[in-house]
Homo-oligomer: A and B are copies of this chain.
């Protein structure tokens, strides 16, 4: 089990070096991070953007562009399309956002002809390392699926389970988060979804993980809260993956941790 970003990094180092494409590279934070990863040998770099602007940003930040491939493109739409093309062509494996808005990049990724989308549902998974929790915590979906129904939530769980398996975490514990632990069919549809997902995992309809919910956040993460509330089970208090009820809850959770808390996120 991976307990922090350091272990994650060493795992990445062990694998084959990935080629990373930075879409619209003329943005200082993104460029700095991508160059740092390349300098550490974690990735090879392909930069997409206005060559003059990229070189200006690099010069201004005192960054060495080295011999990285620089694919010329203008504006966020073209940069996004060009970056996605490189991934389709197998010339890169990892997509990173530079100055493009997330929406522009996602439009290119999801484009029905030139995009990357396979038959499955695409979802957004984030990870958090915090002193408040003894292991890495994954959470979905703060950025793509707005109001997933039960089937879409099952697909989001499956995507997350596949992703954490690549990090060596088998049979992860998935907490389906709501505001309470009781199923409230009349007023709280999120609790009904959670119950259905728990049973689907029990019946093998969602594989390779343990799923339990509804769990409020405290019972998902804290044994003490479970003891006080009398909530049991293998997942409660020990979640690896949090499935949030909808994009608002997920997005607010993510930004709360980023804004208020001393945590590392990706």
Contacts and interface: CB of A to CB of B under 8 A. Distances in A.
Interface of A: 128, 130, 132-133, 142, 146-147, 177-180, 187-188, 190, 216-218, 221-222, 244-253, 255-263
A129 B187 CA distance: 31
Task: Select the residue from A142, A147, A252 with max chain B CB neighbours within 10 A.
Answer: A252
A55 to B, nearest CB: 22
Contact of A187 (B146, B178, B260): B146
A179 B253 contact: no
B147 A260 contact: no
- In the complex, the count of this chain's copies comes to 2
Given A260-B132, A260-B263, A255 B216 contact: yes
B260 A179 contact: no
A262 B177 CA distance: 22
Nearest to A130: B260
A179 B216 contact: no
30 contacts: A128-B260, A130-B260, A133-B259, A142-B179, A177-B252, A179-B248, A179-B250, A179-B251, A179-B252, A180-B251, A217-B251, A217-B252, A217-B256, A217-B259, A218-B259, A221-B259, A222-B259, A244-B248, A244-B252, A245-B248, A248-B248, A249-B252, A252-B252, A252-B253, A253-B256, A256-B256, A256-B261, A257-B261, A260-B260, A262-B262
A146 B188 CA distance: 7
Contact of A218 (B178, B217, B255): B255
